[in-house]
């Protein structure tokens, strides 16, 4: 089917899966890392930096934006893509909680 049965899972399980889906692509990892490395909001050279076509980068940025991980100005020329700190910390906490709750060892 290609679509997961999200209705049979909890909100938290779906939320974690959706967040993981955004990270489940090396280009988006690279984009996030590159944006965070910049001193200022220079985001025009992502295409040169990453090595993918401009429409592809634009789509990846959109995926990241959809879960609220990007903030800044989103109109016209010379955009300012930055990582939304609040959302970032929320995701960090979400993953940290998940990893720390699974600690049982039975084998």
Partner DNA sequence: TATTATTATCGTAATATTGCAATATTAAAA
Partner DNA sequence: TTTTAATATTGCAATATTACGATAATAATA
Q: Binding mask 43-82 vs DNA (x if CB under 7 A, - otherwise)?
A: xx-xx----xxxxx-xxxxxx----------xxxxxx---
Q: Which does 48 bind (CB under 5 to 8 A by kind): a second copy, DNA, none?
A: none
With respect to DNA, which residue has the nearer C-beta, 16 or 52? 52
Phi and psi at 74, nearest 5°, equal -120, 25
Q: Say how far apart CA 14 and CA 88 lie, in whole Å.
A: 17
Q: Say how far apart CA 49 and CA 65 lie, in whole Å.
A: 19
Q: Does 99 bind a second copy (CB under 8 A)?
A: yes
Length of the chain counted residue by residue: 107
Q: Binding mask 41-80 vs a second copy (x if CB under 8 A, - otherwise)?
A: x--------xxx------------------xx-------x
If phi over 0 gives left and psi between -120 and 50 gives alpha, with beta otherwise, what is residue 82? beta
Out of 37, 55, 77, 78, the residue judged to bind a second copy by CB under 8 A:
37
């Amino acid at each position: 089917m290609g679509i997961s049965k999200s209705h049979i899972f909890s909100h938290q399980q779906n939320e974690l899966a959706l967040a993981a889906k955004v990270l489940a692509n090396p280009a988006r990892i690279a984009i996030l890392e590159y944006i965070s490395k910049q001193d200022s909001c220079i985001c025009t050279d992502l295409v040169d930096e990453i090595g993918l076509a401009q429409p592809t980068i634009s789509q990846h940025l959109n995926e990241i934006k959809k879960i609220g991980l990007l903030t800044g100005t989103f109109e016209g020329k010379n955009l300012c893509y930055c990582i939304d700190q609040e959302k970032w910390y929320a995701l960090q906490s979400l993953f940290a909680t998940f990893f720390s709750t699974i600690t049982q060892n039975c084998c």
